[in-house]
Amino acid sequence: MGDAIVLDSHPGHSNTCNRPLKVGIVGGGIAGLYTALYLQQKGHHVHIFEGTDRIGGRVHTHYFTPDRDQYYEAGAMRIPKTDFQDIFFDLVKYINKPLLPEKRINLIKYVLSTDKNLVFVNGSLRPETTASNTTPAMIGWPDIDEKHKDMTAGALLKEALGRLMKKIAPPADFEPAFKKKIVDKWDNFTFRYYCIKKCRWTNSLVDFVETMTSQTNQFNLSVPELVMQSLDFGVKEWQTIDGGMSRLPELMAQRVGLENVTFGARVTGAVFDRVVLAIPPAALRMIVDRPRWSVKKEVAIRALHFEPLYKMGLRFKTRFWEHVDPPSFGGQSTTDLPIRWIVYPSNGIPVEDEAHGQEHDQSGVLLVYSWMTDATNWLPLTPLERRNVALNCLAQVYNGKKDRQGNNINVYNLLIESADHVWSSSTATGDAMFLPGQFKEHFEVAREHEGRIYFAGEHLSFHHTWIAGAALSALKVVEDIIGVKDLRPLSDDTPTHVGFGDQPIDLSFKFQPYNPMYSGTQSPSSPFSEYMPVDVSRDWPPKGCKHLPDNNNRGDGDEKGDNIEKNDGVEQDKASKKEAKAPPQVTLQTKLPNYLGMLDKSALGVVCSKNTSYYAVGSWDMGRVGFR
C-alpha cells in the first residue's frame, strides 16, 4: 500500500477524542469506506489510501459492455434477508437518502436456487432432482449405510447443524452466546470431525453432503465457521443490487469525497492522528517496514486462514439457460466437474418468459464459481486454458439440450467473451474461513488496536465473507477511536453528510509501477529514469504537464469508477455530464517508451496530487493519465 506509515503505535494515548482527528485509512474496501463515512459523520477528517486503481475491494462488478445486465459479480453478489445482515440494508438506506430517486441503489430479488436448476455428477445429468434434494442412492454414491442412503443432502446437513443452531441467540445477544456455546466448546474441531463423532457419519457420507451442498474440503474448516455460514444460507429471501454490487462502494466513496481518496500511489510520507489498516492479513504482512507488535498479534497476522476464490463470467449471445427444458431463471446448478457451480443471473430475468414462453434474444452472462480446493485447481492455468475448461464443462452439462427452436445448445458458438478473477493472485487473497482453534486463539488479539493503529476487515468479525462483516468490524473501529460504545449503524435516520475536503496533509507521492518487475528501475540506464520519480508534493502541475483541451473529456480510465463524478453528494452518469462543463485535465507529456503501450492498463500505477482540486480517475495507458 505504501512505502512507509509515518506513525508510531505508542500505547499511551487516550481513545476518547475531544477534537477533530486526522485519520489515515489504508484500504478502499467496504471496511475502509464505512470507517471513513462514520468518522466524517462524527466530524473527523479522513483520507483513504487504496493500492489499486479502483474502489470497493472484494466488491467488484465486471462490466463487459455499458449495456444493461452485461456484467458479472467478481466479488460479493448476494445478500440474505436476515437480521444479521441489517447493517448492510441500513447502509443502503443511508447512501440512498440524499440521492435523486433515479440515482439510488435499487435492491432486486436474488434467486439462490430453483427446482429447475441442474445436477450433473458422476458423469451424468440428474434432471429429477436439485442438489439439496439429491440422495446418495440417486447418484450411486458408494459406502453409504442403509440409514442414510435415501436421505437428501439438505436434510442431512440440517440434521447435523440442528443441535448447534438451537444454541444461537438473536442478533442483539449474539456475540457472547456464540462465544460461550459454540466457540468455547467446538472451535478446536473441524466440522468433518463433528459429523463423524457426533452425528456418526462415515467419511463417504461427509464427502457426499459436502459435494452436494458446499465446496471441496469446506468441512475441514472449524465448527464455528460452518455454523456462521449456515446462519445466512438457511434463509429463502435474498437480494442483490440492480446494475451491479460495485454501485455501493462507488457511492460510498463519492460521499466520502473522491478528493479524500488516493488510488494507486505509493506513499512515501504521511502523518495522521490515527491509522486504520482496513486490509486483509496477507496484505498487512507484506508491509515490510510496518511496526512489529506482540508475538500473539504477529502470529495471528500470519496464521488467520483465507481460502481462495475463483469466478469466471462468460457472456453469451443468448440467455440459452432460460430457453432449454427445464429453464433456469436464476439460481445455480451443481456439478462435480471443475466448474462446480454454474450461477445464473438474477438480473434481467424476463418475467414474461416464465409466464408465456416468449423468446428473448438478448445476450446474457453466466458465472462459474469455485471456493477453496476447487478454486485452487484453476490457478496454474492460463486465462485461455481456464476458459476452455469452463466451456468444456458447460458443454457436458448442456449436452443434448435444445433451445425453443429445437437447435442443439452449442456453448462454443454462443460465446461472445469471458473474463475471470483469481482472488488468490491479489492481496485480497480470498475470504476469511477459519481453521480449528483460530476463533479462540487469534480472533480477539487480531482485532485489538495497537496504540493509534486500528484494524478492520471482514476477517475481524464473526460474519466472514459478507459485506456485513466488513461493516461491523469498521463500526467497532470507530467505537474504539472515538471512545464510545454501542454506536448505531449508519441508516436513513442518521444525519447525512457530504464528504468535505480534508485539512492540508503533507503527502508525498511518486510515480511507481504496479508490476514489481519494474520496481527499482530508476537507474540512469533505465527507460524510466527520465520520468520517475515525480514528486507532486512540490509544485503542481509537475514540470512538463499541460492541460488537455475540454474535448478530451475524462482520460484513459479502465474502471467503473471512471463514471463517477462528485456533485454535492449526487452521482452523475455520463448522460448527465454531456450538459456539464468538462473538468480540467492534465496529461503527463513524458517520453514513455513505445513498448509500454503493449502493457495492460493495470500494469502501471496511477497517482494523485495532494492538491484537493485534483484526483486520479484513470490508469496509465500509453503514458497518459487523466486528472480532475
Return binding residues. 75-78, 267, 458
| Angstrom distance (rounded) from CA 256 to CA 19 | 20
Task: Report helix, strand or coil for 303.
Answer: helix
Q: Would you list which residues are annotated within the binding site for substrate?
A: 78
CA-based nearest residue to 332, from 488, 438, 213, 221: 213
Strands (E), 37-106: 45-50, 61-63, 71-73, 79-80
Backbone angles phi and psi of 349, in degrees to 5: -65, 120
| Angstrom distance (rounded) from CA 108 to CA 129 | 27
Helix 30-41 vs helix 467-482: crossing angle, to nearest 10: 40
DSSP state of 45: E
Q: Would you list which residues are annotated within the binding site for FAD?
A: 75-78, 267, 458
| Angstrom distance (rounded) from CA 475 to CA 106 | 24
DSSP state of 63: E
Strands (E), 160-246: 238-241
Task: Report helix, strand or coil for 156.
Answer: helix
CB 482 within 8 A of CB 42: yes
**C-beta neighbour count of 116 within 10 angstroms:** 20
| Angstrom distance (rounded) from CA 260 to CA 189 | 44
DSSP state of 17: -
**DSSP string of 532-590, one letter each residue:** ----TTSSSSPTTEEEPPGGGTT-S--SGGGG---STT----HHHHTTSPPPP-EEE--
Element (H, E) at 390: helix 383-397
| Angstrom distance (rounded) from CA 158 to CA 195 | 12
| Angstrom distance (rounded) from CA 125 to CA 325 | 13
The percent of the chain in helix, strand and coil, each rounded to the nearest 5, is: 35, 15, 50
> What is the separation of C-alpha 489 from the centre of its chain, rounded to a whole number of angstroms?
21
